[in-house]
Chain A
Amino acid sequence: MDRGTGGRVVSVTLERPPPTPPPLRARSGGILEWITTTDHKKIGLLYIGTTFLFFLAGGLMALLMRIELAEPGLQVLTKNAYNQLFTIHGTTMVFLFIAPMGLGLANYFVPLQIGAPDMAFPRLNALSYWLFLAGGATILLSFFASGGASAAGWTAYYPLSGPQGSPGPGVDLWIMGVLLASASSVMTAVNLMVTAFLLRAPGMTMWRLPLFVWNMIITSLMILVSFPPITAGLSLLFIDRHLGGHFFDPASGGSVVLYQHLFWWFGHPEVYIMILPFFGIVTDIIPVFSRKPVFGYLGFVFASLAIAGLSMSVWAHHMFTTGAVLNPFFSMMSFLIAVPTGIKFFNWIGTMWGGQIRFDTPMLWCLGFMLNFLLGGITGVMVASPPIDFAVHDTYFVVAHFHYVLAGGSLFGIFAGLYYWFPKMTGFRLSERTGKAVFVLVFVGFNLSFFGMHLLGLRGMQRRIADYPADVGWTWLNQIATLGTVIMGIGVVLFAWNVLEAFRGRRPAGDDPWEGYTLEWSTTSPPPEHNFTWLPPIRSERPLFDWRQRDKDMGAEEVRK
């Protein structure tokens, strides 16, 4: 089958691949090789490794905060240190871990899943990574600036983040770091979109794209629409701080609420930028482990598009208590966004329904993802109602809600993806037993950490306090939460061991350990430079499944003869 795409002719053989494709080993990586690489897989690995280190840093900050909160009174931290920690914890998890981890996995797997040799703009891709690293370093190293890191919260609301509220360099470094990271995200978004639109292998039509690729296209779209406003907002903040601007200063006719509009116009789409990639991963994994095609492919894509559209019109639900946006429009839109999100649950259930589900580690993480994220989604509908938000806004109820979405959801999706693709990226198999132990520890630890926070919020514990009174009945719930965080921490350490052990054990994974459906499983593990020496014909969104069936059907015919 020869077919031109955009003037480019790629030939695809229908013959069976040679039994063992000659290993086209990439030049083994000295440090210079990693610094100068433009290979999407190496850049992907750099992203995944770096974001994981940032995750460990952010997790350590969370652990410190939880230890402080285990008892009323101040034991291990000062108030100021606590404020820096929750500011940088939030910033790290949002800007340096979850979103870029999605982009890192996309870097590695979007080209592979569409049968492309690399990203569309390999050098731009390298630039994205290095800008991201510079941004991350700027944010994390700001702890060592005079006066410490920013202590204005990850939202950096004006006037607290203004020249009087936060005079030190912490906020400036924070602004610079976030601007670098967002510039990097915009470049990656352009790169991913062009790659997915123009570099698809012959036969890979848009409606045969793996759903991870679809969701990355839509995520990229959201990045392109939502990062310019925060870039503008933070630039204006910097001008107000240092160049005598008064954009947000009410004493000179500026508007405090304007900052929040600019921030959340980015901030709400960002929530979906942090979850759609993992919706995509989970929706690639569940069919493979259920031995069925995904249920409702078209519905899933349109639901993602609906989420992207609606996510642009709900930002003010973060601002109900400012009294500036009591307009019910934002509430209505926020309720509606639950509908496409709900559709995805039915896609997953419909895929599992009637299947033959194998609970290997990737699928276990998907199950955990669904169980946690569902509660986050339900409480999300609650806080979309302004009167309920008046009660729970800025309390631990909201902290519980978004951790069920971002830790229970995105983090579990990240683990699902890492367990699913680790064999492909390294060529080695992870120990299933250790992996299952990691899952149990993180799942139990996560729920212990965050379920009780709903109750804390309803009982009136507000966010962002290092200390709380002993006589309000919050202590035991806080102790459970701290215990849960410690258990989660043990789980993460065990995960690190799981990975190290796999590199030491060197158990070969084979090209296709899970009987996957998508093109990345048709090449070697790890794939050679430029990815493919052979591609199966692409006639559906499951080219490899079709190929295996063809084998089995031919085998059956031979038996009949």
Chain B
Amino acid sequence: MRRWAAVGLVGLSACAPEGASSQGQDISDLYRVFVYVAIGVGAIVYGLILWSAIRYRRRSDALPKQTRANVPLEIVYTALPILIVLGLFVLTFRVERDVDRVASEPALVVNVSGFQWGWRFEYPESGISVVSTPSEYPTLVVPAGETVRINLSSNDVIHSFYVPDFLFKRDTVPGQPNRFDLLIPEPGRFRGACAEFCGVDHGEMNFWVDALPATEFDAWIEERAGAS
């Protein structure tokens, strides 16, 4: 049974995406640490529950020893979890600081706004604007290997910019602009969606993120900026 619990949790860790952005990689690493701690704690506690359930099932009518408390033991099982969560908190604190850090000079700024029910990606430096159409999900094109600032906003209801492969989402909150930095080391195409329920077509608010090599990205900017 212990093994079953461990297999389940290893399964959980295996199913977490690697993290296609550098922030996502940090989160993925943190997640793995949590899963390993969970396997350890889970194995002990599941083991104790099942062991006592099996070992101490009723075999006779004799009255067992009426133990009421064991103060040293109680101190141990209070103090140990405190130490464990403090350790997890320190790791969390470090990763959160890195994930939330924004560069002073990002290579590219994109203003992302969510609306019912689609996305608008605006590139203020080049005047490019990409919007959802009824037939097609929009694509957010960014350069790979460079820091991209995403500014989030919404004018109707709350949405959430979510890319599963980046292990990251951040809400677009009316009246409260949000921002975060994204660095995608390798080129690739990633599926995105709206994560905050926003009405009837919430499930249709999908988009794509294309991380292109620098030269291709420059070519894309030129082509799109020329077209508009």
A binding-site residues for B, Cβ under 8 Å = 79-80, 83, 151, 153, 157, 159-160, 164-165, 250-251, 254-257, 290-299, 321-324, 326, 328, 331-332, 335-336, 338-339, 342-343, 345-346, 348-350, 352-359, 367, 370-371, 374-375, 378-379, 381-382, 385-388, 390-391, 393-395, 451, 454-455, 458-460, 462-468, 472
Contact = CB atoms under 8 A, between A and B. Distances in A.
Contacts of A324: 173, 176
Given A295-B68, A354-B64, A464 B197 contact: yes
A160 B199 contact: yes
A162 to B, nearest CB: 8
Contacts of A296: 68-70, 74
A368 to B, nearest CB: 11
Contacts, number: 264
A297 B17 CA distance: 44
Interface of B: 8, 11-12, 15-17, 24, 26-27, 30-31, 34-35, 38, 41-42, 45-46, 48-49, 52-53, 56-70, 73-74, 77-78, 81-82, 85-86, 88-89, 92-93, 95-96, 99-100, 152, 156-158, 160, 162, 164-165, 167-171, 173-176, 178, 180, 191, 193-203
Given A335-B85, A354-B65, A462 B53 contact: no
Given A292-B67, A388-B34, A328 B169 contact: no
Which of B69, B93, B197 has the most chain A CB within a 10 Å cutoff?
Answer: B197
19 contacts: A83-B199, A160-B157, A257-B176, A296-B69, A299-B74, A321-B171, A321-B195, A328-B96, A335-B92, A338-B85, A358-B58, A359-B57, A378-B38, A385-B92, A385-B95, A387-B30, A455-B12, A460-B165, A463-B197
Contacts of B201: 79
Contacts of A349: 45, 48-49, 52
B30 A388 contact: yes
Nearest to A393: B169
A324 to B, nearest CB: 6
A499 B174 CA distance: 51
Contact of B158 (A80, A157, A390): A157
B77 A356 contact: no
A254 B175 CA distance: 9
Contacts of B157: 157, 159-160, 165
Given A293-B68, A331-B92, A378-B38, A159 B156 contact: yes
A332 B52 contact: no
Q: Which 3 residue pairs are nearest across A and B when measured between Cβ atoms? A: A250-B175, A460-B164, A465-B203
Contacts of B35: 382
Contact of B164 (A79, A292, A350, A459): A459
A330 to B, nearest CB: 11
A454 B34 CA distance: 15
A468 B193 CA distance: 11
Contacts of A345: 45, 49
A204 B31 CA distance: 48
Contact of A343 (B77, B93, B160, B203): B77
Given A346-B74, A371-B46, A394-B169, A387 B69 contact: no
Contacts of B46: 371, 374
Which of A255, A394, A466 has the most chain B CB within a 10 Å cutoff?
Answer: A394
The binding surface of chain A is classed by DSSP as: helix
B198 to A, nearest CB: 6
A346 B41 CA distance: 12
B52 A297 contact: no
B74 A387 contact: no
A454 B81 contact: no
A256 B31 contact: no
A151 B67 CA distance: 53
Given A157-B158, A357-B57, A391-B27, A323 B34 contact: no
Contacts of A256: 158, 173-176
A463 to B, nearest CB: 7
B182 to A, nearest CB: 12
Nearest to A379: B38
A261 to B, nearest CB: 13
Nearest to A542: B66
B56 A353 contact: yes
Contacts of A367: 49, 53
Given A328-B89, A356-B62, A371-B49, 10 more contacts: A160-B198, A256-B175, A295-B67, A296-B70, A321-B195, A323-B173, A328-B93, A352-B56, A378-B38, A466-B203
B115 to A, nearest CB: 12
Given A153-B197, A160-B157, A335-B89, A323 B178 contact: yes
A345 B42 CA distance: 12
B200 A83 contact: yes
Contact of B56 (A290, A374, A391, A463): A290
A367 B199 CA distance: 40
A360 to B, nearest CB: 10
Nearest to A332: B89
Nearest to B162: A462
Contact of B171 (A323, A336, A455): A323
Contact of B176 (A165, A323, A332): A323
Contacts of B203: 79, 462, 464-468
Nearest to B152: A323
Contacts of A387: 26-27, 30, 92, 95-96, 99
Contacts of A353: 52, 56, 67
Given A335-B85, A387-B27, A458-B12, A394 B162 contact: yes
B200 A390 contact: no
A367 B74 CA distance: 22
Nearest to A165: B157
A464 to B, nearest CB: 4
Nearest to A385: B92
B60 to A, nearest CB: 7
Contact of A321 (B17, B58, B160): B160
A352 B160 CA distance: 46
B92 A164 contact: no
Contacts of A294: 68
B140 to A, nearest CB: 16
Contacts of A157: 157-158, 196-197
A23 to B, nearest CB: 31
A375 B41 CA distance: 10
Given A321-B169, A324-B176, A357 B78 contact: no
